[in-house]
Amino acid sequence: MSEKMLLHACCAPCAEYPVFDLLERGIRPDVLYFNPNIHPKFEFERRREQVVKLGEIRNLECFYSDDFRIDDWLSRAWEDRYDSRCLMCYDIRMEYTARYAKEHGYQSFSSSLLVSPYQNHDAIRESAERAAEKYQIEFAYTDWRPHFREGQNMAREHGLYRQKYCGCIYSLQDSDFREKIVNSFPDGWEAAR
């Protein structure tokens, strides 16, 4: 019997290579979309739909949470505990994933965040390790960054939506592709507020 693993998916394109790699190693992960940082709600739902689509393409079980917490990012309450909003974001997602994995009988968990060269890799790993220790579950670490482009090409081949920003309201404001992104929202700038 193969290992029962839960893979946190930040988005479908980033999940592509980790899913491929795990399947190649004989591990059929279940996929969890939990990303309350994504803004606006339209984008949050679009990314969730794409993760579900990837699950269908790869014949994987897909679970998701409709938890959408823009107020956590806007309140700036995180400043008392974290040096950056990204660290808060990693902790929220890794804690939820570890707890979900433990409560649902998984042996281990990992995250597609580990494929992105644009994320703070060490901080993600540290966050996941803390959550794993707290919930007494294995964090299955893999550095998938060398295969980032390969995964993006797979996503293109599968016709998956590939976004141009991390997902939070601040990364949207900072993106070089902000106008293009906002124009993809049904209500344009109104949706982005």
| Secondary structure of 51-113 in HEC code, one letter for each residue | HHHHHHHHCCCEEECCCCCHHHHHHCHHHHCCCCHHHHHHHHHHHHHHHHHHHCCCCEEEEHH
Which residue did the predictor score with more confidence, 76 or 90?
90
Give the chain's domain count.
Answer: 1
For 136, the domain range is 5-162
Return the biggest CA–CA distance within the chain. Answer: 50
Q: What is the per-residue pLDDT across 135-171, written as a single tens digit (0 to 9) for each?
A: 999 999 999 999 999 999 999 999 998 887 777 777 7
Of the listed ranges 7-11, 18-22, 60-64, 82-86, the one predicted with least confidence = 82-86
Pair 14, 39: CB distance under 8 Å: no
Higher pLDDT, 89 or 105: 105
The answer to whether residue 46 sits within a structural domain is yes
Burial call 9-30: b when 16+ CB within 10 Å, e when fewer: bbbbbbbbbbbbbbeeeebbbb
Note whether residue 25 is domain-resident.
Answer: yes
CATH number, domain with residue 143: 3.40.50.620
Determine if the pTM surpasses 0.75.
Answer: yes
- Residue 81, domain member (yes or no): yes
SS3 of residue 44 by DSSP: helix
Percent pLDDT > 90 in the chain is 65
Phi, psi of 39 (to 5 degrees): -140, 140
Does residue 191 belong to any structural domain of this protein? Answer: no
More confident residue, 153 or 38: 153
Contact 13, 162 (CB under 8 A): yes
| Average pLDDT, rounded, for the chain | 89
> Does a structural domain hold residue 79?
yes
Give residue-wise pLDDT tens across range 173-192.
Answer: 777 877 777 777 777 656 55
What does residue 32 show for φ and ψ, rounded to 5 degrees? -120, 120
Domain assignment present for residue 172? The answer is: no
- Quickly state the pLDDT bin for 76 (edges 50, 70, 90): low
Specify if 127 maps to a domain. yes
